Chains A and B, each alone.
Chain A
Amino acid sequence: MTAQLPQNPGPGPDLQGPVGPAPAVAPAQSTSELEPTAAPAPQGAPAIELINAARWYGNVVAVNDLSFSLGAGVTGLLGPNGAGKTTLLHMLAGFLAPSAGTVHVLGRSPNRDPSVYRQIGLVPEREAVYPFLTGFEYVRFNARLQGMRDSDQAARDAILRVGLEDAMDRPIGTYSKGMRQRAKVAGALVHDPQVLLLDEPFNGMDPRQRLAMMELLGQMASAGRTILFSSHILEEVERVGNDILVMVAGRLAASGDYRAIRALMTDRPHTITIRSSDDRRLGWALMADPTVFGVELGTDNLTVKTAQLSAFRRLIAGASRTAGVRLFEVVSGDESLESVFDYLVRR
């Protein structure tokens, strides 16, 4: 896993190189109902690859010189509103041609080569579903669009996967937001695509449905699919996976494992908060070690600043034993995805 953190946001930072784990070359596993129409990706090509891709609308630059590649696994697409996330997903789905640069999905250009659609599933953010179709009809419609032989069975399987079986024969117009969202997901994965693109898939789902959807994305990722989903709910992204792509103002702010991205932020010291049987004594002992450059005593805790997190983590247990101090609690202050995102967007 290579984490990327462009230090210089100017034009042409070197962002090449695979971001995700090994590129997906495994063939789809459950292709029993799938017509063998889709040509396999060229060997070794990453599932998703952008090279200096840009998209502008008139004078508005939505995506600016974006380069990255993704292999199998699940990646969270993050960024403030207006950062260009939806434009990126639409370019990957073939709705939009890049204004400059290259966008490749499974080694092919989605807006020029329709055969790649057989391997792409898209859950759009907008609720563009026909209200008069039942959930089942909508999903089967998608299966037929994908040229599947047994579209009835495929639709039933997909509906089962999202847990919509009780409502599948009701018109979508009567669905709640969370149900519509799941119908869209079922429609996007009915042909078991290699690449799944989801724009705010959790929107409108209730807590139970969210848990189920997180699990589903995790399962598909471990089955070798490439999944890119946008979300604003960082604690959920953190639970689905560690890999993120962060866009700010049309540019790639960082990509890779968020913990590795955090480690690259050498200008931000790590803070660790400790509760112990004798905070003052422990602070005094830790300050003696060169990996620590600051300790602060709180009313009932001790905050330690270090630039070398790994070294500190190897030090702390032994140092407290030597000092004869009992450790009650050790918590990292700013290692969460939320703080990483905050640092990236505010920089």
Chain B
Amino acid sequence: MALIETQGLTKHYGPVKALEKLDLAVEPGIIGLVGANGAGKSTLIKILLGVIPPTGGRAVVLGMDVVREASEIRKVVGYMPEHDCLPPDVGATDFVTHMARISGLPRSAARERTAEVLRHVGLYEERYRQIGGYSTGMKQRVKLAQALVHDPKLLLLDEPTNGLDPAGRDEMLDLIKRTGNEFGIAIMVASHLLGEIEQVCGFLVAIDAGHLLSAAPITTFTARTPVLAVEVEEGSDRLAAALVGHGFKARTDGDCVLVAMENEALYDAIRDTVADLALPLVRIQQERRRLEDLFRDPAPVAGNPQ
């Protein structure tokens, strides 16, 4: 069963076309959702939650229709909003228990699940303090905890690392990975940070102006290209010239020399040329495609690296 499936999904707000005939099929896993501002990410999330109805087409989440079975969907889907939405004057324990009760858990189960899930996200003694006094990182953890408390099958996370510093980001990304991999919960992460998506997600959905731009495993976007990058501290121009002299296709890019990989003899040629010129060698690495190329090229061509 597909995790999320949409057919001709369309949403108009008056004259604004937020989603236009979106066809999408996604299997369980950790899925990245990227797109330009205004591309329709938030609209898609709201439709998948059954909060707003589509103008046309249909969407199915875990086999349930978002219009007819909206409340059933919300029982098995957890949602972490992007904006600051926590009540400042209650403790995390009370708040998350309350959210668990709203999701239909009995009182004792709600308490137990809350304790478990707060420990999972890394909130300990501070859980009894008022949320208003929490740091950004702690607030993000509470938001994740309330999304997890009713043991959902699918988590929708909207910019979960927003406002976090590098250490906080790493911890949150780690938490997302653990939640997805160890607990087997499917997760869809909306983010603008492609580096983050690459780090945690196995699958990428990119939408642009309400249309599907691309939906494929991350590895297809970061595949190796037949180009070898050779970085030196100095003398990249001399290195490139020497390699061209040996009959290779090479060009400089700052301190890097990019060489087309034609045959195995290239490796020896690079090693020997660097040694002959006595250059300080920093790096030899096969180039990869980058996720951001998706947003650089007007029309990305899958499977064509250059």
- Chain A residues in the interface with B (C-beta under 8 A): 78-82, 176-179, 203-211, 232-235, 310, 313-314, 316-318, 320-321, 326-332, 338, 341-342, 345
- Chain B count of residues within 8 A CB distance of the other chain: 43
How many inter-chain residue pairs (CB < 8 Å) link A and B? 107
Q: Quick one: which of B164, B168, B169, B192 contacts A206, CB cutoff 8 A?
A: B192
Q: CA separation between A204 and B191, bound complex, in Å?
A: 10
Tell me whether A345 and B167 are in contact (CB under 8 A): yes
30 pairs from A and B in contact (CB 8 Å cutoff) = A81-B164, A178-B37, A179-B37, A205-B37, A206-B35, A206-B39, A207-B36, A207-B292, A207-B294, A211-B295, A232-B165, A232-B166, A232-B169, A234-B166, A316-B281, A317-B271, A317-B279, A318-B278, A321-B272, A326-B267, A326-B271, A327-B267, A327-B270, A327-B271, A329-B286, A330-B282, A331-B283, A331-B284, A338-B166, A345-B167
Smallest CB separation, A320 vs chain B (Å):
6
Q: CA separation between A121 and B281, bound complex, in Å?
A: 41
Tell me whether A329 and B284 are in contact (CB under 8 A): yes
Q: CA separation between A205 and B38, bound complex, in Å?
A: 11
> Is B274 part of the binding interface, using a Cβ–Cβ cutoff of 8 Å?
yes
**B interface majority secondary structure:** mixed
B163 cross-chain contacts in A, Cβ below 8 A:
81, 203
Q: CA separation between A314 and B285, bound complex, in Å?
A: 17
Tell me whether B37 and A313 are in contact (CB under 8 A): no
Tell me whether B164 and A207 are in contact (CB under 8 A): no
> Is B275 part of the binding interface, using a Cβ–Cβ cutoff of 8 Å?
yes
> Is B152 part of the binding interface, using a Cβ–Cβ cutoff of 8 Å?
no
> Is B195 part of the binding interface, using a Cβ–Cβ cutoff of 8 Å?
yes
Q: CA separation between A229 and B37, bound complex, in Å?
A: 22
> Is B296 part of the binding interface, using a Cβ–Cβ cutoff of 8 Å?
yes
Smallest CB separation, B16 vs chain A (Å):
10
Q: CA separation between A209 and B284, bound complex, in Å?
A: 31
Q: With A206-B192, A321-B271 known to touch, is A310 a contact of B137 (CB < 8 Å)? A: no
Closest residue to A322 on the B side, CB-wise? Answer: B275
B154-177 to A contact mask, C-beta < 8 Å, 1/0: 000000001111111100000000
Q: With A327-B284, A328-B267, A330-B285 known to touch, is A207 a contact of B192 (CB < 8 Å)? A: yes
Q: With A81-B165, A313-B280, A332-B283 known to touch, is A320 a contact of B271 (CB < 8 Å)? A: yes
Q: CA separation between A179 and B193, bound complex, in Å?
A: 17
> Is B2 part of the binding interface, using a Cβ–Cβ cutoff of 8 Å?
no
B169-191 to A contact mask, C-beta < 8 Å, 1/0: 10000000000000000000000
Q: CA separation between A318 and B270, bound complex, in Å?
A: 11
Tell me whether B165 and A80 are in contact (CB under 8 A): yes
Tell me whether B36 and A81 are in contact (CB under 8 A): no
> Is B306 part of the binding interface, using a Cβ–Cβ cutoff of 8 Å?
no
Q: With A206-B36, A208-B36 known to touch, is A80 a contact of B166 (CB < 8 Å)? A: yes
Q: Which of B34, B35, B36 has the most CB of A within 10 A?
A: B36
B135 cross-chain contacts in A, Cβ below 8 A:
81-82
Q: CA separation between A177 and B159, bound complex, in Å?
A: 13
B84 cross-chain contacts in A, Cβ below 8 A:
none
Tell me whether A232 and B271 are in contact (CB under 8 A): no
Smallest CB separation, A341 vs chain B (Å):
6
> Is B136 part of the binding interface, using a Cβ–Cβ cutoff of 8 Å?
yes
Q: Quick one: which of B39, B164, B167, B280 contacts A310, CB cutoff 8 A?
A: B280
B35-62 to A contact mask, C-beta < 8 Å, 1/0: 1111100000000000000000000000
Q: CA separation between A234 and B281, bound complex, in Å?
A: 25
Q: CA separation between A328 and B272, bound complex, in Å?
A: 13
Q: Which of B168, B267, B271, B292 has the most CB of A within 10 A?
A: B271
Tell me whether A205 and B281 are in contact (CB under 8 A): no
A233 cross-chain contacts in B, Cβ below 8 A:
193, 195
Q: CA separation between A318 and B274, bound complex, in Å?
A: 8
Tell me whether A211 and B296 are in contact (CB under 8 A): yes
A326 cross-chain contacts in B, Cβ below 8 A:
264, 267-268, 271
Tell me whether B267 and A209 are in contact (CB under 8 A): no
> Is B233 part of the binding interface, using a Cβ–Cβ cutoff of 8 Å?
yes
